[in-house]
Amino acid sequence: MVDVAGIFLGAVGPTVAIAAVGYVLATFRDVDPQPLNTVVVYVLAPALVFHSLAGSTLAASTLQWLTLAIVAFTLAMWLVAEVGGRVVGEREPILSALVLVAMFTNSGNLGIPVSDFAFGEVGRQTAVVFLSVQSVLMYTVGVYAASRSGGSAGLVGVRRVFRLPLVYAVVAALAARALGVVPPAASTSMETLRLVGDASIPVMLLVLGIQIARTDTGAAVSRTWPATVLKLGVAPLVGLAVALAVPFGDVTVARVFVLEAAMPAAVTPVILVGEFAAGARSDGVSVPEYVSTCVLVTTLLGIPVLTGLIALLRSGVVL
CA pair distance 50, 128, nearest whole angstrom: 9
Tell me the three state secondary structure of residue 286.
Answer: strand
Burial class (CB in 10 A: 0-12, 13-18, 19+), 316: exposed
> 138-166 pLDDT, tens per residue?
888 888 888 887 776 555 556 766 777 88
Q: Where are the alpha helices (DSSP H) in 246-286?
A: 251-261, 268-276
Return the domain boundaries, the chain.
4-315
> 42-64 pLDDT, tens per residue?
899 899 989 988 888 899 899 99
pLDDT of 266 > 80? The answer is yes
Would you state the pLDDT for residue 152? 65
Mean pLDDT of the chain: 89
Return the CATH number of the domain spanning residue range 4-315. 1.20.1530.20
The beta-strand segments (E) located in the chain are: 281-282, 285-286
User: Where does the pLDDT of residue 4 fall: very low under 50, low under 70, confident under 90, or very high at 90 and above?
Assistant: confident
Terminal Cα-to-Cα distance of the chain (whole angstroms): 17
Residue 216, phi then psi, degrees to nearest 5: -100, 105
Pair 285, 219: CB distance under 8 Å: yes
Pair 288, 274: CB distance under 8 Å: yes
Average pLDDT over residues 6-33: 87
